[in-house]
Structure 1
Amino acid sequence: MADPIFSPAVPEFITVDGLRIRFIRTDGEGTPILLTAPWPQSIYAFHGIWSEITPLGPVIALDLPGFGRSEGRPDLMSPQAMGDFLVRFARALSLQRVHAVGPDVGTSALLFAAHSAPDLFESITIGSGGARMDLVGAGLRGVIEAAPGSFGEEDGGPQVVATITRNARHLPPKEAMEDFRASSAGRRWIEAAEYVRAYPRGLARLGELLPSIEAPVLVISGRDDPIVPPSNGDYLAEFLPAAVNVIVAAGHYVWEDAPEEYAALIRDWVQGGHRDPGRFPAKRKV
């Protein structure tokens, strides 16, 4: 039966690198759009933009390993390892070239993937993800620097529901909230946090690679994001060869807070804006 969020499509699983990975895909013409879900949400985070994105071409959205409802493994919980996995996932689905969209944890993973497999990416849209350690917000830094086992609740599901309810400007539909809860149930939130706890080394290495990443990059930042301030996007736009940072009137969950503008930016980018990032209008809602 089709899911009400994604109708008529339905989430499915594929085994990649020995892990069951949840994803959803639609048919269409043109260059596929590959979306990676943000943390601590899941592919259901795209409920507000799904109907706007799917007419642009074939869409594939996935929960990265250890996030959402996908199986994880400790050796993948770092930006560079996750970037390598994304390349393997694309190959498993026979994707030759994609427009990639990866908010939050997808930011660092996609940039590493673009460095290792530049021919895979027609363009990249990222944002709301840590780019440099001295630019992340205090809350995220607290998770990164906490002693092992000293962060998170025994059951992460209710913790995540409370966090999203408190911080998203528009409450997601109940189907999405239930999926977010299940995605972080038990110790899954704590296990997923190992990804950001790998930032000190991973982001330092990423900083060295930024000037060599040639894919056109759109960064979408929330003006009022306390977790990943827009200075992270400014930093990426400064050091990536072909990038622009667009700051939207939103908090951390830009795709939830301003879905119409988020989808419109993706549409304008993949339909031609990526070919000349210097001329792409860096709209700022202040």
Structure 2
Amino acid sequence: MSVFGTRHHILTVDGLDVFYREAGDPSRPTLVLLHGFPSSSHMYRGLIADLADEFHLIAPDHIGFGRSAAPDVGEFTYSFERLTEVTLALLDKLGLERFALYLHDYGAPIGLRIASRDPQRVTALITQSGNAYVEGFTPFWDVLFAHAEDRATHEPAVRELLTAAATKWQYEHGVPADRLDRIAPETWTLDQAGLDRPGNKEIQLQLFWDYQFNLAGYPAFQEYFRTHRPPTLVAWGRGDEIFGPAGAEAFARDLPDARIHLLDAGHFALETHGEEIAALVRDFLRSVR
């Protein structure tokens, strides 16, 4: 089989089945792609195909997402710390000693935990709506932070974020009218199918609640930026109403050499600007070998 084609694997990690996509020659520089809510490694399918001729790509599904295991909330601790542990165990089991990280949404607090704790292992960072600054939070988060303080009172409002309408909105908001036809409908329908599995909404509610603890890690992430100066590419949707463009621009505070590109896109910028982002990533990774 050609190394350029995407391969699909399941590896048992800490007793859990972790699904991941792989493409490219393992002897080439590795890029680990960490997805966000409510998606899976599926969000990287186009980028993987675009870059597999030159790079080695690994894209796992987090526990509770995609094709990875999704144990009940009573059987697994759904926290970003625990998801980090599983991700790191996967990378160790795959024997990946050095790699760049692509961070989107939930992938940011997971990947930045890894990078800040073992800086020598990470060759570069790419962030697409992968937040690390309070400036990135928009009014979208008001109900989530209220839920963090009082789960019972605000759970009905937060559950609205798990509906089909909300999932579709995540893909379409902030996208120019002339690019809406680039968004494949299976994106939000696939994500919603995952959310609609028995017990999955409870998983997502737990992660919504746990997100508050990621903010406590921001000072350590920012200290990592200042101390280790990882080469960083920011490719962010200017129209993102979940993590706003101020979150992208904030990286320049601690990483003055960061390449920051605000695209005329929304939260899932790869769906509408995949070719542009692939070109930015290719050029960037070539410069940091």
Q: TM-score, normalised by structure 1?
A: 0.81
CA positional deviation for 1:264 = 1.0
| C-alpha distance in 2 between matches for 1:202 and 1:165 | 24
Question: Counterpart in 2 of 1:9?
Answer: 6
| C-alpha distance in 2 between matches for 1:241 and 1:108 | 21
Question: Counterpart in 2 of 1:201?
Answer: 213
Match of 1:253 among 252, 262, 268: 268
Where does 1:98-177 land on structure 2 (aligned, <5 Å)? 98-133=99-134, 135-146=136-147, 147-148=150-151, 149-150=155-156, 151-153=158-160, 156=162, 158-159=164-165, 161-164=167-170, 166-167=172-173, 169-170=180-181, 172-177=183-188
| C-alpha distance in 2 between matches for 1:68 and 1:157 | 17
Question: Counterpart in 2 of 1:265?
Answer: 280
The CA deviation string for residues 57-105 of structure 1, in whole angstroms up to 9 with x for no partner, is 2211111222333225653422x44334332221011111112212111
Structure 1 pair 251/113, CA: closer, same or farther in 2 (3 Å)?
A: same
Structure 1 pair 202/37, CA: closer, same or farther in 2 (3 Å)?
A: closer
CA positional deviation for 1:16 = 1.2
Asked whether the 8 Å contact 2:135–2:250 carries over to 1, the reply is no
Structure 1 pair 76/47, CA: closer, same or farther in 2 (3 Å)?
A: same
| C-alpha distance in 2 between matches for 1:62 and 1:236 | 25
Question: Counterpart in 2 of 1:48?
Answer: 46
Q: Which amino acid aligns with 1:77?
A: S
Higher mean alpha-carbon deviation, 113-122 vs 176-185, is at: 176-185
CA RMSD of the aligned region, Å?
2.8
How many residue pairs align between the two structures?
Answer: 267
Asked whether the 8 Å contact 2:236–2:248 carries over to 1, the reply is yes
| C-alpha distance in 2 between matches for 1:68 and 1:241 | 36
| C-alpha distance in 1 between matches for 2:13 and 2:256 | 32
Question: Counterpart in 2 of 1:227?
Answer: 242
SS of match in other structure, 2:17 = strand
CA positional deviation for 1:33 = 1.6
| C-alpha distance in 1 between matches for 2:210 and 2:256 | 25
| C-alpha distance in 2 between matches for 1:217 and 1:256 | 21
SS of match in other structure, 1:56 = coil
Where does 1:62-77 land on structure 2 (aligned, <5 Å)? 62-72=60-70, 75-77=77-79
Structure 1 pair 33/144, CA: closer, same or farther in 2 (3 Å)?
A: same
Q: Which amino acid aligns with 1:162?
A: K
CA positional deviation for 1:134 = 5.2
| C-alpha distance in 2 between matches for 1:64 and 1:227 | 20
Higher mean alpha-carbon deviation, 158-167 vs 59-68, is at: 158-167
Structure 1 pair 194/243, CA: closer, same or farther in 2 (3 Å)?
A: farther
- Identical aligned residues as a percent: 22
Structure 1 pair 125/11, CA: closer, same or farther in 2 (3 Å)?
A: same
| C-alpha distance in 1 between matches for 2:29 and 2:286 | 10
* Bigger fraction of residues in helix: 2
5+ residue gaps in structure 2? Answer: none
Question: Counterpart in 2 of 1:236?
Answer: 251
CA positional deviation for 1:183 = 2.1
Question: Counterpart in 2 of 1:21?
Answer: 18
5+ residue gaps in structure 1? Answer: 1-6, 276-286
The CA deviation string for residues 194-217 of structure 1, in whole angstroms up to 9 with x for no partner, is 334333332232223412242322
Structure 1 pair 222/66, CA: closer, same or farther in 2 (3 Å)?
A: same
Asked whether the 8 Å contact 1:37–1:68 carries over to 2, the reply is no
CA positional deviation for 1:219 = 1.9
Structure 1 pair 94/66, CA: closer, same or farther in 2 (3 Å)?
A: same
CA positional deviation for 1:261 = 1.0
Higher mean alpha-carbon deviation, 215-224 vs 161-170, is at: 161-170
SS of match in other structure, 1:11 = strand
CA positional deviation for 1:131 = 2.4
Structure 1 pair 123/197, CA: closer, same or farther in 2 (3 Å)?
A: same
